[in-house]
Amino acid sequence: MAQKKRSSRWRVWHRWLSLIFGVQMVVWALSGAYMVFFDLDYIHGDHLVQDISQPLPEHTHIASLDELFATYPETRSVSLETRWLDNTLQTVYKLETAKGSLLVNAESLRLIELNEQHIKALANRYYAPEQANIESVVYMTDNPPTEISEKLLPVWQVNYDDFGNTSLYLSETTGDLLVKRHNFWRGFDIAWMLHIMDYEERVDIETWWLKGFIIGTFILMVTGIVLLVYAISFKRTPAGGSQ
Amino acid sequence: MRFMQWLHRWVSLILVVQVVLWLISGFFFALTGHQGMSGHQYMVPQKTFTELRKVAAKVDFEEIKQWFPNAHSVELVSVAGVGQYQVTLPDDVIYIDANTGDYWSTDEALATRLALLSYSGPGSVESVERVTGSNEVNGWTDPGFRINMADDLNTRIYVDMASAQVVEHRNTPWTIADWAFRLHFMDYSGGRSFNHLLIWSAGLLALWFSLSGLILLGRNLINGDFNPGRKKTWLEQFQQQGHPVASSCGGGGTCGLCKVTLKGDNLPEPNDSETALLNRDELNAGVRLSCQHKVSTAYSVELADKAVSDTRLTLVNKRQLTPSIVELTFTSPGNLTYHAGQFMQFRIPHLNEVLIRHYSMATRPDLNKLVFNVRQMTSPQEGVPPGVGSNYLCHLEVGANVDATGPFGDFQLTEQNNNTQVFIGGGAGIAPLRSLIQAEQAKQQPRHSVFFYGARNEDELCYRDEFEAYDGVAYTPVLSETTKADGWSGKTGFIHEAALAWLANENLNAVDVYVCGPPPMLKATLKALTDIGINRSRIRFDDFGI
């Protein structure tokens, strides 16, 4: 009968362990299911934006490299592209310098400074859904929301009044779309936080309590397996008879 | 709740391997961290610090623009001091040498130089290979180079030929991490996708599994199972006090082994587990599962096997009953009381372990001796050892001891009624049947009994004289390996067929049937009895196979 006595010990252990680790297992299963069931492209918000690049206009007289370097000698890389500004498709040079990026008119080499109207118009071009209702535009230089990296500052935040409360983040200097966020991304971020158990920065996957919970869950699972073995091997009818 | 238990148990059975894999890979992630898994331990960010004016590109933007009129953008960068145009077309990106205007091409020397520029580790170049994509770099299928570094991490650096870009750094920790990702995401293609059918299914199961566990946990909380000062269940009380109560699920209410009988006026109502595992007669008689009720003074509790104890039996007589069956008679130091049809658990020492074998008592309850029938299992073929338990017992000398626990079993006579008692047995299954028949015949008014007994041949008909001598027992031996030609005038064939032929003319509501015998016989008989419509509650059987 000794073996049979043990079975109730295992059950008591299974209960107590599940009180602590089983609850986290539910959290893992829920957050894992969220991350698994929503397509990653959807989470990234790929459906919310479109490519707005255009072929370079043919008959523009663009400044030569020599002229460019004479005005902006610290340029480390330069990109010739187009930008919609004031309802006109302009040819621009986008420069990377030691001090950051710059946007200049490719013909006059004049520096382009983007204002709120420019940003709104650009954001609406990036925004893919048909109804583009901007709720608010925020220029942020510090204290970014948790959904973006501090490295992106300063940045324009354009918020839409739509199904997922979309926010597009555009570069202050170049008007490029940097990141896009919507409620399902924010949900994913919470699921990720719960999954890795870093409730502050949501990046640290090496915390001691995460490791502890994994080990605890492992023990919980071992007790469950033992109970499972008992359950499968039991016989309702006590064995009897003679051989 | 029973459904929740069922769900929790079966889903766990399916899911257990994947949960182990999730835990192991998750633990690996937690140990290693992002940086350790990235393959980028020795990788420096690729930032160009060269000012473009020093690169002195010979080809200007205007020319590129004319060559590629459909370009969406053109970028000029410095690749190790040489200008390179990256031309983005509607569906492609091409790379042009800013000095020659030709397509950019990276040779081995440049690739190696770029690789070293991106590398901060202690190693030196070991070898350089031409490759076309790599299964280590998901999505990269273009021609390029693999630069193998001689370092502690076994670093290899992939450089794209057309663009001269350092595509990736890979190393041994990365390879291990990649396998952990395969396990965690269940994506064995190496694509590290966690949106696919396999993991959707596993995710759904995991959800069911953990939520059913949560619901069960909630029930435990409501029941006060976590209260340190809570009242114990009867099962826990009995187990702590060392009373013999069988239980394999340990209080889950799923195995139905911990039966007790409650006596009193105010018995607790049976719950779901009990209505599922106990029959109506038992419930009406006050039988409950001791794990489902807290200790209470409102009623008294009687253990089903209150007479169970450990005992050391001494062999006092041994005789060969038939060519294959030996009759062993033991005495027990204390007076062991048992019901007809019950069995003892023998502990057979074998090598370094103890084997458990069950044998039923072969006589009606007798305070002075315990009689068992043991079929000596011969070896089925040369090289296969004969039955360990039966051979041990059959070779015991008179005076020898063996340890046993018991009695156990609910293969017992029905309550008094006017039914015909039908016993069907085969081989050594005769033991509990003989005990039952003797007990019935010893009553003041024995019920009419019918006994069908199957054996191979006439020599195997043990206790034949005894059964033929009873007035109240219609004894029908049936032989399976004997024909009329052997001089046998009785019945031949399968035992259940003979029993069935007799039952065909009986009132099936007025019989109690007891079955014991080898597994195939038991199975065939039980099926035949069910097929002709005998109510399950009228059939009692002893599982002979264990």
pLDDT per position as a tens digit, B460-488: 899 999 999 998 899 999 998 877 777 88
Phi, psi (degrees; rounded to nearest 5) at B485: -60, -25
pLDDT of residue B546: 35
When CB atoms are compared, the residue of A5, A26, A81 closest to B73 is: A81
Tell me what percent of the residues of chain B surpass a pLDDT of 70: 96
Rounded to whole angstroms, how far apart are CA atoms B500 and B531?
10
pLDDT digits (tens, 9 = 90+) for A46-60: 999 999 999 999 888
Contact B206 A211 (CB under 8 A): no
pLDDT of residue A35: 95
B192 touching A (Cβ < 8 Å) = no
Contact B516 A241 (CB under 8 A): yes
> Mean pLDDT throughout A62-79?
92
On the question of pLDDT at A3 being above 60, the answer is no
B328 pLDDT band, cuts 50/70/90, is very high
> Mean pLDDT throughout B275-291?
84
Query: pTM of the entire structure?
Result: 0.67
| Closest residue in chain A to residue B432, using alpha carbons only | A241
Cβ–Cβ under 8 Å, residues B166 and B115: yes
β-pair type (B325-331, B370-375): antiparallel
Q: Helices A23-37 and A208-233: crossing angle, nearest 10°?
A: 100
Nearest residue to A101 via CA among A72, A139, A70: A72
Residue type, B272: D
B306 pLDDT band, cuts 50/70/90, is low
When CB atoms are compared, the residue of A8, A64, A76 closest to B50 is: A76
**Structure tokens, A3:** 């073996």
When CB atoms are compared, the residue of A22, A58, A205 closest to B213 is: A22
Rounded to whole angstroms, how far apart are CA atoms B156 and B461?
81
Cα–Cα distances in angstroms (integers) from residue B336 to residues B307, B312, B331, B333, B410, in the given order: 8, 11, 9, 8, 17
Contact B213 A40 (CB under 8 A): no
- Cα atoms found within 13 Å of the Cα of residue B534, Cβ hemisphere only: 23
ipTM rounded to 2 decimals:
0.87
Mean pLDDT rounded to a whole number for chain B: 87
On the question of pLDDT at B384 being above 80, the answer is no
Contact A80 B255 (CB under 8 A): no
Mean pLDDT rounded to a whole number for chain A: 88
Contact B207 A224 (CB under 8 A): no
